[in-house]
Amino acid sequence: MKKKLTALLAGIMALTMLLTACGGNSNSGSSDNAADNSGDAAESRTLTIGLAADPQTMDPQALLSGATTAVVCNLYSKLLKRDDNMNIVKDLVTDYSIVDDTTWTFTLREDAKFHNGDPLTSADVKFSIERAAKDDTLMEYPHWKNVESVEIIDDYHFNIKTWEPYPALEALLSKSGGDILPKNYIEEVGMDAFIKAPIGSGPYKFVSYTKDQEVVMEPNLDYYDTVNTTWDKVVFRVLPESSTRVGELLAGGVDIVNNVNPNEWDRINSNDGTSVLLGEGTRVYMLGMKCSEGNETADVRVRQAIDYAIDDSVIADAVLDGAGVPTLTRVANGVVGQDSSLYGKYNFDVDKANQLLDEAGYPRGEDGIRFTLGLEGSNGRYTLDGDVCQAVASMLEENVGIKVDLQLYDSTTYVNILSPREFKDAAMYCFGDNFFDGIYAIACYTPDFSMGETDYNNPRMNELYASAMANMNLEERVAQIQEAQQIAAEEVPYANLVNLKIAYGVRDGINFTGRLDEQFNLNTITLAE
């Protein structure tokens, strides 16, 4: 069967992007399970998805990665959610409105239940939202700390109060961390026991989690909304190596795989029964650099030089084989507040880079080396991430004489290194944005997020962030977010390189639509008729 790779959505209109699948429509598409792929889909009714990274936790407020979000989004429900077009729609609430600049009032639906049968009430909302807003050990805390409290009116009515006006509250409630947890059950069994065997109110129920191997779920037949019963079971298999994921796809061991490397596309498309789905995403490759004293990169001229020395177009076109767009901003296409003057642009200039390093007092030695920069990165977590790191290292040494001590780690190890927010000299990230508001992207330039990572601290940036967080005038806050991006592009705490496109491998017979937020919405994955 002849296959054709379809590039989807060349232009994206803000927050209205819907990825569409390419490929065939023949043959049954589901494997029986990871060990036995010989069964017919109609009989086995098991969907198997190959993940590039381990989810690591079932706690939706302690998220460490996109892999976690992609999985747990099916276990829990939120007050609001994003549909497949990335529009914010009601989920657990039937109505809500703004009372004043710091007070929002909500009405819960009365038919929502947790997987153990307990009703979901305002008490659960208060418990969940205030946990995210008050527990500063949680990864989601910096995004939620502007929430002051949840005021219970009765079992199905409550107010959310913020410390100051907060225009992005709807976006916040619809992103990771806004998941509603069962208060009574957690108080009964304890948080540690809950995370090992979580109970949510989402369309799918938790069955098991084996670290670095798989997560198993089954449909929640008591779900308050329509639930997809195509599958009796869904298995997320952890397959860190891209070649392994693709091999399992071709052999029938999995039905869908994510983060497919470009060098595997032809292999998938030429195979009878599989296709590549390619579309836009919000992930941006970012080289984070220490801005604190004692590091060469504390000098803004050094950071600028590093940015000028990296040819983003080569990374996008040669390293990633076209699966990326050069960018000078982390605010990706389709995200509120993007500065178009920085997107699709790069500033490669070797002469300028060398001039800046000379001015900063880092001359070349007899061996041509100015200094050594430690760089930490992942290999296999994101699309060709190891190759991207290698390319950056080569460019810095060849173009400006900065020798790079490159350390690459597997996906799990890399997360464990970065999660304490500590790296040595520099680190390569590939961050996405499930907030779809530029305020989320520029947050990484503020002390709450930067301390221990880049250590970047700019009073004007902090002022813009604080103002944009509280500005209810959309036009004004967009202008503030764009000014923040201009400052970041000038001072370069992160060298933004490439906005990564997302590639999936899909078996024929599976109706699957990729999402801009990269979540696997199990309610929408079905067998082709």
Q: What is the mean pLDDT of residues 220-236?
A: 95
pTM, two decimals, is 0.81
**SS3 (DSSP) at 327:** strand
| Percent of the chain surpassing pLDDT 70 | 91
The full DSSP string for 452-521 is TTT----HHHHHHHHHHHH---HHHHHHHHHHHHHHHHHH-SEEEEEEE-EEEEEETTEE----TT----
| Percent of the chain surpassing pLDDT 90 | 77
So what's the pLDDT on residue 421? 63
Please state which architecture CATH assigns to domain 80-183.
Alpha-Beta Complex (3.90)
Pull the structure tokens for residue 292: 């604190």
Instruction: Read off φ and ψ for residue 503, nearest 5 degrees.
Output: -120, 130
So what's the pLDDT on residue 295? 95
The burial of 338, by beta-carbon neighbours within 10 Å (0-12 exposed, 13-18 middle, 19 or more buried), is given as buried
Q: What is the mean pLDDT of residues 51-80?
A: 89
**What gap in Å lies between CA 108 and CA 112, rounded to an integer?**
9
So what's the pLDDT on residue 410? 87
Per the document, the length of the chain is 529
The domain over range 284-500 is classified in CATH as 3.20.20.210:
no
The full DSSP string for 118-180 is PBP-HHHHHHHHHHHHH-TTSTTHHHHTTEEEEEEEETTEEEEEESS--TTHHHHHTSTT-BP
408-441 residue pLDDT tens? 998 778 877 776 666 779 999 998 888 899 998 9
**SS3 (DSSP) at 182:** coil
Band of residue 43 on the pLDDT scale cut at 50, 70, 90: low
So what's the pLDDT on residue 342? 97
Pull the structure tokens for residue 91: 């989920």
Q: Checking DSSP bridges between strand 6-7 and strand 274-279, what pairing results, if any?
A: parallel
Whether residue 506 contacts residue 513, with contact meaning beta carbons closer than 8 Å, is answered with no
**SS3 (DSSP) at 325:** strand
Question: For 216-222, which contacts have Cβ atoms below 8 Å and span 24 or more sequence positions?
Answer: 217/74, 217/75, 217/522, 220/115, 222/113, 222/115, 222/117
Q: What is the mean pLDDT of the chain?
A: 89
How far the first Cα of the chain sits from its last, in Å, is 19
Band of residue 140 on the pLDDT scale cut at 50, 70, 90: confident
So what's the pLDDT on residue 156? 98
The burial of 353, by beta-carbon neighbours within 10 Å (0-12 exposed, 13-18 middle, 19 or more buried), is given as buried
Q: What is the mean pLDDT of residues 223-241?
A: 94
Residues 6 or more apart whose CB falls under 8 angstroms from that of 433 comprise 282, 330, 331, 332, 335, 440, 441
Band of residue 8 on the pLDDT scale cut at 50, 70, 90: very low
With 60 as the cut, is the pLDDT of residue 33 above it? no
So what's the pLDDT on residue 29? 37
Query: Any idea what DSSP says for residue 319?
Result: I
The hierarchical CATH code for the domain 6-73+202-280+502-527 is 3.40.190.10
So what's the pLDDT on residue 419? 67
Tokens 């961390």 locate to 177
Alpha carbon distances (Å) from 153 to 107, 123, 126, 150, 156: 10, 10, 11, 10, 8
Residues 6 or more apart whose CB falls under 8 angstroms from that of 35 comprise none
With 60 as the cut, is the pLDDT of residue 328 above it? yes
Query: Any idea what DSSP says for residue 336?
Result: B
In the chain, where the domains are located? 6-73+202-280+502-527, 80-183, 284-500
Instruction: Determine which of 63-77, 239-253, 304-318, 328-342 has the lowest per-residue pLDDT on average.
Output: 63-77
Q: Is there a common fold for 6-73+202-280+502-527 and 80-183?
A: no
Q: Whose CA is closest to 500, among 348, 387, 421?
A: 387
